[in-house]
Copies of this chain bind each other. A is one copy, B any other.
Amino acid sequence: MPKLSKKGIDIPVSPIRKLAVFSEQAKARGVKVLHLNIGQPDIEAPREAIDAVKNSNLKLLPYGPSQGNFSYRKKLSKYYSKHKININAEDILITTGASEALTFVLNSICDAEDEIIIPEPFYANYNGFASASGVKVVPVASEFNNRFQLPSLENIDSKITPKTKAILLCNPSNPTGYVYSKLEIITLCELSIRKNIFLIVDEVYREFMHGDIEHYSVLRHPEGHQNTIMIDSVSKRYSLCGARVGCIVSKNKLLIQNLLKFAQLRLSPPTYALIASEAALDAPDSYLKKVISEYSKRRNVLIKALEEIPDVKVSHPMGAFYCMVKLPIDDAENFSKFLLTSFEDEGQTVMLAPATGFYSTPGYGINEVRVAFVLNEKKLLRATKIIRKGIKKYNKIYASPVV
């Protein structure tokens, strides 16, 4: 058969989905699988969003504007102003999910062999987007022991080469839950200006803050406006993952113009999803407050339960709905597979996301997993019980634990 592309072959399989086949086999055996592996919210979307679609009176679905309809962009700019982000409708390009947003941005600023610096661990698909665009990811390690805060400026600076086109950050971070401080963001802005590169910040978890911390958006630093790009999505905020609506926001007009060409190629974002996303902005403030307080409660329950398991270490997340967990086992991927293929407790088991896929450096995160707290408290407690028993049984069968 004809050969496939190198870049396609190079795309790594997602650590979030790579064990899916074992989970399906477990389900086929009648075992119930509790999913801690995927960040799929289980909370209802705003009624406004769902109702708007049900009440729409479209008779056919025409193409919309490639940049997204003006009324939605206008309303979004008002939403951002509540977060002290001052931008206009013209600074927003609506995309088919944050995934498309990041793909457009990478393609708009990088040619093949160019480099992007990302603090690791990072959202696993960043590796994939980079491979798919022929771009090289240059990781800078952040540390489990200090909650994965920003690596030192010297360390980041030392990775910048003439091929470096951007630094990419997720704030709050998936998978670590770390929230970058105003100082960290401004430091990176200034570095980007000095080095004439872009700073891309994926802020899809902006609203999900645990405790009294203020999120500092990269767009709040006006000096960086030619260099900074913000990525957003309705997926997590409004439990609208399947809508596939995101956006790119930047004050850099030349960049937005160039991104529009990529947007025009794919014609327009999905119509019904836009209707839902625009209406979601009409939800009362109480909607998000309730959602976030629910996730914060789950976070606390989960951390407590996990830390009660001997030799388990949890990196306490300040935002988003994930935490990184160090387990007293030799290999988290083997262990995760074991849970799905060779273990059950009263007909139930757990699916985890092994952490190596969130790192770019080989060998990092080998005994870590990412846990998403998108299940209710009862299920989370049940899941931690299963993990506790699973560790015991796994370590009886396999090598002695590495702590």
Contact = CB atoms under 8 A, between A and B. Distances in A.
Given A11-B265, A272-B270, A59 B53 contact: no
Contacts of A153: none
A9 to B, nearest CB: 7
A4 B254 contact: yes
Given A108-B4, A270-B242, A44 B17 contact: no
A9 B60 CA distance: 34
Interface in A141-182: 165-166
A37 B268 CA distance: 17
Interface residues of A, number: 81
Interface stretch (A61-69, A77-85, A326-334): A61-69
Interface stretch (A125-133, A337-345, A381-389): A125-133
Number of copies: 2
A11 B132 CA distance: 18
A261 B61 contact: no
Contacts of A13: 261, 264
A132 B244 CA distance: 21
A315 to B, nearest CB: 25
Nearest to A8: B108
Interface string A37-64: 0101111110000100110101111111
A358 to B, nearest CB: 15
Contacts of A8: 107-109, 258-259, 261-262
A243 B63 CA distance: 8
Contacts of A41: 60
Contact of A5 (B5, B103, B111, B197): B111
A365 interface: no
A227 B259 CA distance: 33
5 shortest A-B CB distances, which residue pairs?
Answer: A242-B271, A61-B242, A272-B272, A270-B270, A60-B239
16 contacts: A2-B165, A2-B196, A2-B226, A4-B109, A14-B264, A42-B60, A53-B54, A61-B276, A62-B241, A96-B244, A96-B270, A241-B268, A243-B271, A244-B266, A270-B270, A270-B273
Interface of A: 1-9, 11, 13-14, 17, 38, 40-45, 50, 53-54, 56, 58-64, 66, 96-97, 99-100, 103, 107-112, 114, 125, 128-129, 132, 134, 165-166, 192, 196-198, 226-227, 239-244, 252, 254-255, 258-259, 261-262, 264-273, 276
